[in-house]
Amino acid sequence: MTQPLPLLDDAADDAPSRADALRAQILALVAEYHAEAFPARAFVPGETPVPVSGKVFGAREIQHLVDAGLDFWLTTGRFAAQFERAFARACGVRHATLVNSGSSANLVALSALTSPSLEDRLRPGDEVITVAAGFPTTVNPIFQNGLVPVFLDVELGTYGPIVAQLEAALSDRTRAVMIAHTLGNPFDLAAVTAFVRQHGLRLVEDCCDAVGATYAGRPVGTFGDLATVSFYPAHHITMGEGGAVLTNAPALRTLVESFRDWGRDCWCEPGKDNTCGKRFGWQLGELPCGYDHKYTYSHVGYNLKATDMQAAVGVAQLERLPGFVAARRANFAWLRAALADLEDVLLLPEPQPGSEPSWFGFPVLVRDGAPFSRDALVQFLEARRIATRLLFGGNLVRQPAYRGLTYRVVGDLANSDRVMRSAFWVGVWPGLTEPMLAWVAASIRAFCRGEAR
């Protein structure tokens, strides 16, 4: 980082105190600005949008953002280090490594398991078990690393993997399992962890939708070798863009940082040199002895770091996380109770037994034989300004992106096809009010009972 020019004459002695006073004044004005720029607005049914997701923030988030901007340290810095420490504690793991998105987190996590430094490294052609009904970026890193996805079907209602299919998915090339906790509902971690232990496999938990969820009293993200998180505005906390890779293994953390930081062998933080004490004393590969360690690369990596301004927002958001999770659970419970009498035409969501989800959304599946289709219900809700989303990519093997690629399928993926045809979800995020939830429930009920069809 370029150092600021020194002030001339006597003003130099007063520069730190003047700068601190100006910073405090600016941050106080930011709080005033927030109050004026983001006032609460009344909800008008049918006119005010009811989003499926969104960001909830206050003056503190904007103050943190401006505070980081005033430092003008534009890459990873003090806020990033603070966030990584605090988020690791919040998730119950030793290490959290910040990246620029949840998609990057998935790419970095799985790529780390291909490192030549690991005896059990994943190699091209090895198989990774996953599910067909999910989000593409859980699967894309498998293809990107020359590995072969093996797709399981999902249970309807929980939308986790059908764990009875795990043994059928196993082959002599199986090396890992990488599955997401769908919409914040943990998958059957008891069955999956028993399976990976029995067969000596790696486990990557995609927790991008599930921060705050627990299974058997333990936070998700603590069961696998690695776990991933997203901080996109739709998620449990946000930095705008951002993500993290979680692990309890220091060796895996080092690999994650390498793949995130251009693939370099050096582990110095940005702006620092010679952390290892022998920057010009290494002999690696076919490089000449003493080649600068900061320019020595042990992996084919990327630059996937987040900025300190993003991390600054995350630090403020993390203070709100317990309240956000509680609000999501309360909103989910409100909708579940309000729609309970529609079970004859709708399959309503169920928590995975033994878990306490941190709901990302409220999934609904229109039952076979209902007198209406998913598409008709969705169009009705959208016309009432109630936003909906399908369950991500539906059955991913039907997606054009994967046409012609190599993968295996277990069974006929009948449930994934039903998800593709008949499922959708509405929001439970903390920005929803009870009048909004009441409008959602009343609208779904009116349509399902034929009052508005």
- Catalytic residue positions? 235
* Nearest in space to 336 (alpha carbons), one of 184, 452, 441: 441
Q: Is 249 exposed, middle or buried (0-12, 13-18, 19+ CB in 10 A)?
A: middle
Token pair for residue 188? 């059957």
Cβ atoms 107, 145 nearer than 8 A = no
Beta pairing, strands 148-152 & 127-131 = parallel
Q: Which H helix or E strand runs over 248?
A: none
* Alpha-carbon span 316 to 300, nearest angstrom: 34
Instruction: Give Cβ neighbours of residue 301 (< 8 Å, ≥ 6 apart).
Output: 111, 258, 259, 260, 261, 262, 263, 264
Buried b (16+ CB within 10 A) or exposed e, 262-300: bbbbbeeeeeeeeeeeebeebeeeeeeeebebeebbbbe
Cβ atoms 27, 403 nearer than 8 A = no
Residue at 122: amino acid letter:
L
* Alpha-carbon span 220 to 99, nearest angstrom: 19
* Alpha-carbon span 141 to 128, nearest angstrom: 10
